[in-house]
Structure 1
Amino acid sequence: MASKFIHAIYSDDDLLMQAVKQIRDKRYHIGEVYTPFPVHGLDKLMGLEPTRLAICSFLYGLAGLAVATWMMNFMMIEDWPQDIGGKPSFSFIQNMPAFIPIMFELTVFFAAHLMVITFYMRSKLWPFRKAENPDLRTTDDRFLVELDATNHNVEDLTKFLYDTGATEIKLIEN
């Protein structure tokens, strides 16, 4: 059985928000929404779950803090202790005020770099990957809502989408 999708194009972000609300009220499945800029509140209207990337960022920051603590303890206390500025290197705790900037910087470094890698892996944005944008106008000034129309009457769905303010509707069959 071939799958059918409908691409409804909207010209305004406020109109898009109202249309998404009406589409969700009618219990149609929205596959994806393509916008030229972030539309605040759209994720809640679509019913998307909150992201867990913040938890990953916190864990990556903890890993950076642990690496910084281990690295400074090993280099400055165990491996090659030096008397720098009259500060003895007998213990990590005595030198902790001098180590705080390094600990902060490595925490931020690990969180930032590992978050970028996690985002790319989660989004499946690999190098040389072909873009999946179905209509190039969504990178300029149009908004596109992709609906699954496999189990729906296409004529009724098309009429409903025109009533929500869609300026153009295309039927895509795979």
Structure 2
Amino acid sequence: MSDIKYILGLFEDPDEMLHGIDKLQENNIGIYDVYTPMPIHGIENKLGVKRSRLDIVAFICGITGTFTGFGMIYYMMAVDWPMNIGGKPNFAIPDFIPITFELTVLFCAFGMVSAFFFRTHLFPGRAPRVMELRASADRFVIAIDAKKGFDSQKIDELLKEAGAIEIKHNDRKYVSYE
């Protein structure tokens, strides 16, 4: 068994990269990830990436903000310090809708940012993990996990047939900036 962890196929054109993905999938070779310098429409479906559950996180955070807002207002105005202002009830719901709305938006925004940082491991102060530095500039990269038992010669041939301009065999997962 070799020390190669990942095989990277570098492409100049997104269409050639998509053709390379098709060739690899036709031969039942699993793709670890694809790195592109720009968004490519429909690549998630081609790779079988599951739909994001970020909308569920947003809903839960928003509902939490709504209940926190109503709970806070109820506690302040009806339990802790009830005041009689012009004969109005202590807990007049229409008066507190703006505060509740703002807390809903605040909780949703902070929850989404926190979920994003948690899911992508991009916490502030952490060095980014990059497999190929040119993937953010001008290259389209297909990464294949070489530890899965695939024949590296066959993968190299398939990538060359698809139009890869360069094929790299990485012995580590991420490239450092140093």
Which residue in 1 is equivalent to 2:139?
A: 142
In the aligned structure 2, how far is the partner of 1:87 from the partner of 1:115?
Answer: 41
Q: For 1:73 and 1:14, how far apart are their aligned partners in 2?
A: 58
- Counterpart CA distance in 2 for 1:103 and 1:119 is 24
* Preserved contact between residue 11 and residue 163 of structure 2 (Cα < 8 Å): yes
Name 2:111's counterpart in structure 1: 114
Aligned match of 1:170: 168
SS of the residue corresponding to residue 51 of structure 1 reads: coil
1:9-42 CA-to-partner distances (Å, cap 9, x unmatched) read 1122233233223322221111111122222221
Gaps of 5+ in 1: none
Q: C-alpha separation between the residues in 1 aligned to 2:137 and 2:87?
A: 59
Using structure 1 for the length normalisation, give the TM-score: 0.86
What is the identity, as a one-letter code, of the residue corresponding to 1:38? P
Instruction: Deviation per CA, 1:102-130: give whole Å up to 9, x if none.
Output: 11111111011011112211222223322
Following TM superposition, by how much is the alpha carbon of 1:91 offset from its aligned partner in structure 2, in angstroms?
Answer: 4.2
| Aligned length in residues | 170
Q: Which residue of structure 2 aligns with residue 77 of structure 1?
A: 78
The Cα offsets for residues 119-162 of structure 1, whole Å up to 9 and x where unpaired, read as 21122222332222122211112111111234222222111101
Gaps of 5+ in 2: 173-178
2:23·2:158 contact (CA, 8 Å) conserved in 1?
A: no
> How far apart, in 1, do the equivalents of 2:133 and 2:7 lie?
16
CA distance in structure 2 between the aligned counterparts of 1:47 and 1:22, rounded to whole angstroms: 15
Which deviates further from its counterpart, 119-128 or 139-148?
A: 119-128
Structure 2 CA distance for partners of 1:80 and 1:6, relative to 1, 3 Å? same
User: What's 1:41 paired with?
Assistant: 42
The 5 Å alignment of 1:1-174 reads 1=1, 2-82=3-83, 86=86, 88=88, 90-92=89-91, 95-150=92-147, 151-174=149-172
Amino acid at match of 2:153: E
Say whether the 8 Å CA contact 2:61–2:111 is kept in structure 1: yes
Say whether the 8 Å CA contact 2:64–2:107 is kept in structure 1. yes
CA RMSD of aligned residues (A): 2.0
Identical pairs, percent = 36
Opposite residue 137 of structure 2, the aligned amino acid is D
Residues 83, 90 of structure 2: 8 Å contact kept: no
Q: Give the SS at the match of 1:37.
A: coil
